[in-house]
């Protein structure tokens, strides 16, 4: 019986063989038999892993969706829900970055085959739906869960996080999968998070420092008093 690591290895072999043949012969001209032969397995083995040759292009999203769900479930006490969602979407980029060469080949293929682009849209929508559901169940501390706009804001927030991820991912893939994609994603997510968190909540996180100095104090003395208060 093939172990878990063996199954994962076979999935990767089949996916890599499919992408290679699609690039060489074209998506429509490549058959399941050819993919199986290139991976060194029987035709029936292919169907143990993928229902169709189209599915071989997207081998890791099911397991990644589970990882994303686990991140959402492991939220910290008092964390802003959008922060948890931003942390969860990093698992998706981590999946692509783990095999940069394969991810780049997949991206180039998707640009050539409309049917595969449609499948990608459907896959991405699963993450968006998961985030929307989470945000509906975990409203922001600065928002009322009974607000009629709560469903709208949950959906908009989820879409914004996914859009930020996809923007960074496409740019990284167009660049050949080089560079620190995770750092770029973190930067994009900070911008999204800052735009979505209620401004009043952000203001409440700021400190107001009051110092008292004698009349006639010089600028240096005032600055020293402020520094002392801050420390």
pLDDT at 214 over 70: no
Sort residue 78 into left (φ over 0), alpha (ψ -120 to 50) or beta.
Answer: left
- The residue with tokens 């991405």 is 124
pLDDT at 34 over 90: yes
Q: Which fold has domain 4-56?
A: Arc Repressor Mutant, subunit A (1.10.10)
Report helix angle 100-112 to 150-174, nearest 10.
100
Question: How remote is the C-alpha of 179 from its chain's centroid?
Answer: 17
pLDDT at 226: 63
Write out the DSSP string of 120-135.
HHHHHHHHHHHHHHHH
Identify whether the C-beta of residue 172 lies closer than 8 Å to the C-beta of residue 181. yes
Say how many C-beta atoms besides its own lie within 10 A of residue 158's C-beta: 23
- The residue with tokens 């089949």 is 14
Q: pLDDT for 37-52, tens place per residue?
A: 999 999 999 999 999 9
Helix (H, G, I), strand (E, B) or coil at 12: helix
| DSSP E strands, 111-193 | none
pLDDT at 3: 46
Same fold, 4-56 and 60-197: no
CATH number of 60-197: 1.10.357.10
CA distance 39 to 48: 14
Across 28-37, 66-75, 187-196, 218-227, least confident range: 218-227
CA distance 69 to 67: 5
pLDDT band at 203 (very low <50, low <70, confident <90, very high): very low
Q: pLDDT for 118-171, tens place per residue?
A: 888 888 899 999 999 999 998 876 566 677 888 999 999 999 999 999 999 999
- As given in the structure block, the two tokens for residue 191 are 């911008």
The residues, any chain, with a CB within 8 Å of residue 84's CB and separated by 6 or more, are 71, 72, 75, 76, 134, 138
pLDDT band at 2 (very low <50, low <70, confident <90, very high): very low
15-54 exposure pattern, b = at least 16 Cβ within 10 A, e = fewer: bbbbbbbbeeeebeebebebbbebbebeeeebeebbeebe
Residue ranges covered by each domain of the chain: 4-56, 60-197
């Amino acid at each position: 019986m093939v172990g878990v690591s063996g199954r994962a290895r076979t999935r990767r072999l089949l996916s890599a063989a499919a992408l290679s043949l699609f690039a060489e012969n074209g998506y429509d001209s490549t058959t399941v038999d050819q993919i199986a032969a290139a991976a060194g397995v029987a035709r029936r083995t292919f169907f143990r892993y993928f229902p169709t040759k189209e599915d071989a292009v997207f081998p890791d999203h099911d397991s990644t969706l589970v990882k994303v769900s686990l991140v959402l479930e492991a939220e910290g006490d008092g964390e802003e829900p959008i922060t948890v969602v931003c942390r969860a979407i990093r698992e998706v980029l981590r999946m692509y970055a783990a095999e940069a060469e394969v991810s780049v080949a997949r991206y180039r293929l998707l640009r050539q085959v409309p049917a595969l682009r449609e499948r990608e849209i459907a896959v991405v929508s699963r993450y968006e739906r998961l985030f929307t559901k989470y945000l509906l169940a975990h409203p922001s501390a600065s928002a009322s869960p009974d607000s009629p706009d709560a469903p709208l804001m949950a959906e908009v927030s989820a879409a914004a996080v996914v859009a930020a991820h996809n923007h960074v991912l496409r740019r990284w893939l167009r660049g050949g999968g080089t560079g620190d994609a995770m750092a770029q994603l973190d930067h994009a997510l900070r911008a999204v998070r800052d735009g979505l968190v209620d401004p009043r909540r952000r203001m409440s996180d700021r400190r107001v420092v009051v110092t008292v100095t004698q009349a006639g104090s010089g600028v240096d003395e005032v600055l020293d008093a402020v520094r002392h208060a801050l420390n």
